[in-house]
Structure 1
Amino acid sequence: MTKVVILDDYQHVARDMVDWSSVEARCQIEVLHEHIADRAALAARLAGAEVVVAMRERTVFDACMLDRLPDLRLLITTGMVNKSIDIAAAHARGVTVCGTPGGGPSAAELAFGLILALARRIPQEADGLRNGDPQWQTGLGVDLAGKVLGIVGFGRLGMMMVRYGTAFGMDCVAWSRSLTKEDATSQGIRRADSLEDLLSQSDFVTLHLPLTPATTGVIGRAQLDLMKPSAFLVNTSRGPLVEEAALLDALETGAIRGAGLDVYDIEPLSTGHPYRSAPGLIAVPHIGYVTEDTYRNYFTGAVDAIIGWLDGAPVRVLAP
């Protein structure tokens, strides 16, 4: 019987989100609830698996890892893009790579949620009330109306941020290498002349860039120094877009007022990582896509991909 392994089901929900009966009738399903970072240990757990369902980009399937999985024939990624999978190496080894539906508003909604949480000090005030010392109104928040929302990267999620910011009365400005003034005008926003221009005028900066060699470390100390001392930075895209040491120093010294993070250089974030105690930082454990609606899309797509592959007609195949 075909062995299927589902990776990284942290919430123990994979089997409950959708109907797996069509797969269960033809396959043996195993679910791993903890992330296995050690590659040798992961290869041992995946021994004999012909089908693996990977959760986003948590696990690297490069040529070396694929060589350790000689039985693998179908690798499914949640979503339609996964830079942690060497698709060309998979195809060369006879492994079909399929994606699933996804791409909803959940990541953009979280980004704006972090903006609200930073502006109104929601975690701090809730903790103060719960802990009781101090218990009532521990600081001052800021209004969003009239503030400048700087959007770095202007793809699908960046466009969503414009709608959210505009609904709250914010003045939206965007920058990306491909954004023209005409395109910005058609979206009802301003285009910054440069990243530096955007950083210097924004009260809130939100990052929506892919991780590439050109964007790695795009926000470092020089960029943070351009921001207002009253400004906030939000990153829900990829951890390495922001230089960790530079952000920690900016928070410690008050170079910026605060930050909201959902992504990190290495995940899960280590227990002793300084982000866990940095002043002015709201950090959440990469939950941008972790919603009931998104997971139903992911796992419905995974079921469809497995059945399609078993029937000799794989769906949503990702080409090298």
Structure 2
Amino acid sequence: MSLRCAVLDDYQGVAESCADWSVLGGEVTVTRFREHFGTVDELVAALDGYEVVVTLRERVPFPAEVFARLPGLRLLVASGMRNSVIDLAAAAEHGVTVCGTESSSTPPVELTWALLLGLARGVVEESTALRTGGPWQSTLGADLHGRRLGLLGLGKIGVPMARIGLAFGMEVTAWSANLTAERAEAAGVTLAASKEELLASSDFVSVHLALGDRTRGLLGAPELALMKPTAYLVNTSRAAIVDQDALLAALHEGRIAGAAVDVFDLEPLPADHPMRTAPRLLATPHLGYVSRANYERYYGQAVEAIGAFLAGSPVRVLG
């Protein structure tokens, strides 16, 4: 009798084509769900009877309650090697092995620059106007060369962000609670004296911090008020790092020139969510990691993890 495997949140219907699932042979029967299960009850009902689950990034929380209500679950495979919405201790307590996959930082870097450039040059507004009979040229682009890029975080995404900013001829500064002048200098950037100094002096601010107790709500109304009225904010990290109500207020009141976000407090974003209609906002549906190569890595290594688990030698075990 084969094990049953559920692949969650395959929104685009690409999980099957991004990996060779046939190598699992008759040992595993795979079902792919394209719809999102928004509540614990919906998730548990859908996964009843499945021994293996493949989940993508942090789209679906797996708290202790889920593991307790899915006694047949044996293996959970998550993309990436860090996942803040899986209770690893509860998984271990219920005998569930949790495995991860490798993940490239290149796609989120590329998307962040797509958003930043889209903001700076009014790409969406101009394209929409051109295709709908609107005015020929209606925005005045913001230059990058000679302007200051402020990076909140200088890690595996912040460092390549800095390199690209320097290639555009920007002055790049960075800040995080643990960032040293030596690390900043090694990346070719200047260490900001403080978070406040970075916000007040930057023309573009881009967030690249991990979400934790110290970074949750890091940018609230007082911090956003420090930004220049001509400055832009980009967040492709985690929504909770920026106070969402404060950001919406700043956009509606025109206190900053604009923002671009790829992450939200609720995902998928409800149809009536205020982020869908906020002015001065360029928004994308959490596409940072969504690329062909990354998905081939995620699902290919998920197949590998399932095979290794069946062979009694789990790989890339989390926890």
Structure 1 letter corresponding to 2:31: E
Partner of 1:53: 54
The alignment's TM-score, normalised by the length of structure 1, stands at: 0.98
Q: Do structure 1's residue 189 and structure 2's residue 174 form an aligned pair?
A: no
Partner of 1:242: 242
Superposed CA offset, 1:230-250 (max 9, x none): 000000000111111111111
- Cα shift at 1:24: 4.0
CA contact (8 A) 1:98 1:318 kept: yes
Structure 1 letter corresponding to 2:205: V
CA contact (8 A) 2:148 2:173 kept: yes
Partner of 1:200: 200
Unaligned runs of 5+ in 2: none
CA contact (8 A) 2:121 2:139 kept: no
Structure 1 letter corresponding to 2:139: G
Partner of 1:76: 77
1:240 and 1:129 mapped to 2: Cα distance? Answer: 35
Partner of 2:17: 16
Superposed CA offset, 1:172-202 (max 9, x none): 0000111111221122110001100100000
- Cα shift at 1:26: 1.3
The SS at the match of 2:158 is helix
Structure 2 letter corresponding to 1:197: E
Superposed CA offset, 1:73-107 (max 9, x none): 00000111111001111011110000011133111
Computed over aligned residues only, the root mean square deviation of the Cα atoms, in angstroms, reads 0.8
Q: Do structure 1's residue 148 and structure 2's residue 148 form an aligned pair?
A: yes
The SS at the match of 1:12 is coil
1:172-183 mapped onto 2 (5 Å cutoff): 172-183=172-183
Partner of 1:231: 231
CA contact (8 A) 2:216 2:241 kept: yes
1:1-320 mapped onto 2 (5 Å cutoff): 1-134=2-135, 136-319=136-319
CA contact (8 A) 2:55 2:77 kept: yes
Structure 1 letter corresponding to 2:161: M
The alignment's TM-score, normalised by the length of structure 2, stands at: 0.98
CA contact (8 A) 1:4 1:28 kept: yes
Structure 2 letter corresponding to 1:30: T
Runs (4 or more) in structure 1 with deviation over 3 Å come to none
- Cα shift at 1:68: 0.9
| Alpha-carbon spacing, 1:41–1:24, altered in 2? closer, same or farther (3 Å) | farther
The SS at the match of 2:162 is helix
Structure 2 letter corresponding to 1:216: R
2:316 and 2:182 mapped to 1: Cα distance? Answer: 34
The SS at the match of 2:248 is helix
The SS at the match of 2:300 is helix
Unaligned runs of 5+ in 1: none
Structure 2 letter corresponding to 1:116: L
1:193 and 1:67 mapped to 2: Cα distance? Answer: 48
1:12 and 1:184 mapped to 2: Cα distance? Answer: 41
Superposed CA offset, 1:259-280 (max 9, x none): 0000011111111111111111
CA contact (8 A) 1:2 1:50 kept: yes
CA contact (8 A) 2:163 2:187 kept: no
Superposed CA offset, 1:117-147 (max 9, x none): 000000010000011123x101111111011
CA contact (8 A) 1:104 1:294 kept: no
1:163 and 1:90 mapped to 2: Cα distance? Answer: 40
